[in-house]
């Protein structure tokens, strides 16, 4: 069992190393892309300001850009609030469904307990064994 465990852990370490290297590379590339896009955004704002200041006064151009950015921020804020509300509703629906499933399971368990007590005891022992093994595994993972 020792050589097999060593081989599997070496394979796992190689996969983790490759994944980590790929994630670092992607993070670095996305950081550069983000920096370039932010720079392009700033130059786009500057070009828009220069164009508008030629047609109107510089104060009107700056005010127009500020208003456009504020309206865009408010729209994005509204979208964010709507998405959070939708996520909250979906989470509430999932919680409600889980409660219904738990209630149905408890009703079924009560029915089994009344009609077949031996089967209910065996099921309880099996569930207890599964829950007990899961807790031991969790403790080992923490160490």
pLDDT score at 14: 64
Residue 107 has pLDDT above 90, yes or no: no
Compare 138 and 126 and report the one with higher pLDDT: 126
| Whole-number average pLDDT of the chain | 81
User: 31-45, 93-107, 117-131 — which is least confidently predicted?
Assistant: 117-131
Model confidence at 108, pLDDT cuts 50, 70, 90, reads confident
pLDDT score at 104: 80
pLDDT score at 4: 67
- The domain locations on the chain are 2-115
- Tell me if 65 sits within 8 A of 48, measured CB to CB: yes
Provide mean pLDDT across the span 78-103: 91
Helices (H), the chain: 2-55, 58-115, 117-142
Residue (of 135, 106, 137, 141) closest to 120 by Cα position: 106
Residue 1 has pLDDT above 60, yes or no: no
Q: What are phi and psi of 56, to 5 degrees?
A: -125, -170
């Amino acid at each position: 069992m020792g050589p097999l465990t060593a081989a599997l852990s070496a394979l796992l370490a190689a996969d983790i190393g490759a994944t980590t290297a790929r994630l670092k590379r992607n993070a670095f590339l996305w950081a550069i892309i983000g920096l370039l896009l932010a720079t392009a955004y700033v130059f786009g704002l500057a070009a828009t300001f220069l164009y508008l200041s030629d047609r109107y006064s510089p104060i009107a151009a700056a005010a127009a850009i500020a208003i456009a950015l504020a309206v865009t921020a408010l729209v994005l804020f509204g979208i964010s609030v709507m998405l959070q509300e939708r996520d909250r509703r979906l989470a509430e629906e999932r919680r409600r469904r889980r409660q219904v499933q738990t209630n149905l399971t408890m009703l079924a368990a009560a029915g089994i307990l009344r009609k077949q007590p031996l089967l209910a005891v065996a099921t309880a022992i099996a569930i207890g064994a599964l829950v007990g093994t899961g807790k031991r595994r969790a403790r080992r993972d923490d160490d």
